[in-house]
Amino acid sequence: VTSAKAFGKIIVLGEHAVVYGEPALAGALSAGCVVDVEKSEHGVPHLMLDTQVFKVSDADNGVCKAVRIAQEAAGIAASALDVTIRFDVPVGAGLGSSAAMSVALPRAMFARADKTLDDATLRELSNQIEKVFHGNPSGLDALLAMTGSLGLFTKKGGLTPIAAKQPVRVIIADTGVQRSTQTQVSNVAARRERLGRPVEQTIEAIGQLSRMGAEALQKGDLAKLGELMNTNQGLLSALSVSSAEIEHLVHVARKAGAIGAKLTGAGGGGCIIALAPPGDEEIVASALRKHSKTVLITNLGAP
Ligand code: MEV
């Protein structure tokens, strides 16, 4: 068996605005996606995705398409390989599962083919795979999936790593509502098209929050970071990417003492992140567990 992995991610500030060139503050998660590749025992190559099984040749399945892109690039399209994809982050929930897969798949196929995979090629392949699921990816998720770091990301400049003054722990809670990043991103685009300037200004304001957040993180000013997160949640709501389930978890977290709480990722469902006063993470997490099946406490920036 040949295995490869890639990291998931959490966006602390700046999702959606990042698609329009603004910075986002984000870090990798040590959890993510693992891909195993082995010689097929079935004659027909299979793809195992959690408990589901597909034929790799399935033309309509996005994940199968992703597998084929990686295989073709590695020059092993014709060989009979079974592929197993496992996630240890919730899927379709804003934690970068598809980007982690888009990085882990080429890594696994190139390793299987005994070929080296340089960063530029991996970025290109991962972008191609991400586009199967998401019309206009900023590249943020894929870069964090590759590097596992914490920093300020822009579409043009890539990732500028940030050294946080102290390790920062965040609480993640899943609304359990799956949504499509592609739909969320195109809804924002449509609103920007319809309303123009006010939406552009909201996007710019979000970018400003990300820059201020990077500074707060460097200084270790968590109260400020929390306030920025709460403000960002308000602006994301103005972009119409929040939801009743998200708002509910955000308010549960704040009521339990979180100094900041917001959706993370594309919104419309998926996960929220909350920042607790250091040492109080478990208090906020246990309040969230009453309303969410998946609650994790994690360090910002993997591993
Ligand atoms: C999704 O994790 C983040 C978005 O900003 C989309 C993107 O950056 O490609 C919503």
Mean pLDDT of 280-287: 98
Indicate whether residue 82 lines ligand 1 (CB < 6 A): no
Residues catalogued as catalytic: 141
- Cα distances (Å, whole numbers) of residue 54 to 47, 48, 234: 5, 7, 41
Rounded to whole angstroms, how far apart are CA atoms 295 and 291? 9
Apex 231 CA angle, 138 and 213, nearest 5: 60
Tokens of 53: 């099984």
By DSSP bridging, strand 81-87 and strand 46-49 are parallel
Q: Which atom of ligand 1 is the closest one to the Cα of 137?
A: 9
* Residue of 15, 136, 159 best suited for mutating to test ligand 1, as the one with most atoms within 8 Å of CB: 15
Each residue's pLDDT tens digit, 161-201 = 998 888 889 999 999 998 888 899 999 999 999 999 999 99
With residue 200 as reference, give the H or E element that holds it.
helix 197-219
Per-residue pLDDT at 292: 96
Apex 14 CA angle, 11 and 18, nearest 5: 105
Cβ neighbours for 161, distance < 8 A, ≥ 6 positions apart: 149, 150, 151
With H, G, I as helix, E, B as strand and everything else as coil, classify residue 147: helix
Q: What is the pTM of this model?
A: 0.86
Per-residue pLDDT at 56: 79
Name residue, tokens 């084929």: 68
Indicate whether residue 13 lines ligand 1 (CB < 6 A): no
Indicate whether residue 288 lines ligand 1 (CB < 6 A): no
* Range of lowest pLDDT (32-41, 77-86, 264-273): 77-86
Q: Which atom of ligand 1 is the closest one to the Cα of 136?
A: 9
Each residue's pLDDT tens digit, 110-160 = 999 999 999 999 999 999 999 988 777 888 888 899 988 899 999 999 999
Mean pLDDT of 26-55: 84
Indicate whether residue 138 lines ligand 1 (CB < 6 A): yes
Indicate whether residue 23 lines ligand 1 (CB < 6 A): no
Indicate whether residue 130 lines ligand 1 (CB < 6 A): no
Q: Give me ligand 1 centre to Cα 142, in Å.
A: 10
- For atom 10 of ligand 1, the residue with the nearest CA is 266
Q: Which atom of ligand 1 is the closest one to the Cα of 24?
A: 5
167 vs 203, residue with greater confidence: 203
Each residue's pLDDT tens digit, 34-47 = 999 998 877 778 88
Q: Which atom of ligand 1 is the closest one to the Cα of 264?
A: 2
